[in-house]
Structure 1
Amino acid sequence: MPAISSERSNWYLLQCKPHQDERAHLNLRQQNYTVYHPQLLTERVIRGKQQQRRESLFPGYLFIHLGGNDNWAPIRFTRGISRFVEFNHGPATVAENVIEHLRARCSGSSISHNDPPLTPGDHLQINRGPLSGLEGVFIASHGAERVMILLQFLNREQTVCMPLSDLTRPHSSFQANL
């Protein structure tokens, strides 16, 4: 079992058994551990239909937050967990700022993963970048994290490809006025 080198809490990297990331994440959370499983929303064609689904950013790995007084023993026997990732004969620690960056990157999309998927014709508002404040209409997805939108800009319609994280859905009262 890995030894803890300090009394302060750290994030550690766990390797999961093949295709058991979700199972390991759920089982660790049920044991009241703080676990982070970074995921991104991706679009795939499944059975001829384009669908959005969440996929692991690091398949086969989870991050767990543990302190010097936490009990590490149950982790070894948790279903779905293979082992702690180790470097230099000790568990690999991950800096807090790395976890914060991953959280911001994975949840950076202002369009929530719980929102219904975008469909052509949906109205969107740009909230970051040089086109901030403009409104457009969703045309299509362009990869996992970018979309094509139609803007009324410079007295004509322009098609623009931009990051999904720079867009929000307008409030329903705003949308009704369009």
Structure 2
Amino acid sequence: MNQLQATWYLLYCKAGQEARAQLHLANQAYASYCPYICVERINKGKLRHKQEALFPNYLFVQLNEESNFNAVRSTRGVIDFVKVGRNYQVVADGMIAQIKSSEYAHSQPTIEQVYQPGMKVAVQQGAFQSLEAIYQRADGLERSVILVRLLNQQASLVVNNRDICLAC
């Protein structure tokens, strides 16, 4: 029995409808893949974690020579295949495997996962460079509140997260 070689193709989807296209492709028994990444967003003053498509509006679909390309192109949520000239864009199996293996490696840990209140941190940049401090809390997406000792008094400072690191 001769088994047909399946190839990955790239689809262009309607805005925000990658999941809808994936569902309808699955109903037609086609394998598809849309890598997601966890991102942090501030919504109504609160930090929220949300899953978003790594490549918005794009979806990978696995088809073989006997697949109905017109049915795939007419699937709900799909606009068309991505083309190079007249040919459909083919994606190498190795590329899909690499994206799958590193899908979650690209999501960065949140500041709350790295630093806990009371941990010693060191200021790496800015006017307070090389001072040791105590981490207090996160202040939004890009800043943290730290406690430093200046002139025998403790003072709270708001610093950029890139400017601090764990103290040795």
Q: TM-score range by the shorter chain?
A: 0.5 to 0.7
Deviation by residue 1:10-40 (Cα, 9 ceiling, x = unmatched): 1000000122222112211222210000110
2:19 to 19, 22, 28: 22
Aligned counterparts of 1:83 and 1:110: Cα–Cα separation in 2: 29
Deviation by residue 1:31-65 (Cα, 9 ceiling, x = unmatched): 22100001101111111111111111111100001
Mark the CA change 1:64 to 1:27 in structure 2 (over 3 Å): closer, same or farther: same
Aligned counterparts of 1:100 and 1:108: Cα–Cα separation in 2: 14
Is the partner of 2:102 in helix, strand or coil?
helix
Normalized against structure 2, the TM-score is what?
0.60
Residue 101 in structure 1 maps to residue 105 in structure 2? no
Give the corresponding residue for 1:175: none
2:70 to 68, 73, 81: 73
Residue 10 in structure 1 maps to residue 7 in structure 2? yes
Alignment size in residue pairs: 122
Which segments of structure 1 move beyond 4 Å, counting only runs of 4 or more? 117-121
Aligned counterparts of 1:47 and 1:91: Cα–Cα separation in 2: 42
Normalized against structure 1, the TM-score is what?
0.57
Mark the CA change 1:70 to 1:102 in structure 2 (over 3 Å): closer, same or farther: same
Residue 64 in structure 1 maps to residue 64 in structure 2? no
Is the partner of 1:106 in helix, strand or coil?
coil
The 10-residue stretch of structure 1 (82-91 or 68-77) with the greater mean CA deviation from structure 2: 68-77
RMSD (CA atoms): 3.3
Q: Which runs of 5+ in 1 are unaligned?
A: 1-6, 112-116, 122-138, 149-157, 161-178
Q: Which runs of 5+ in 2 are unaligned?
A: 117-136, 145-163
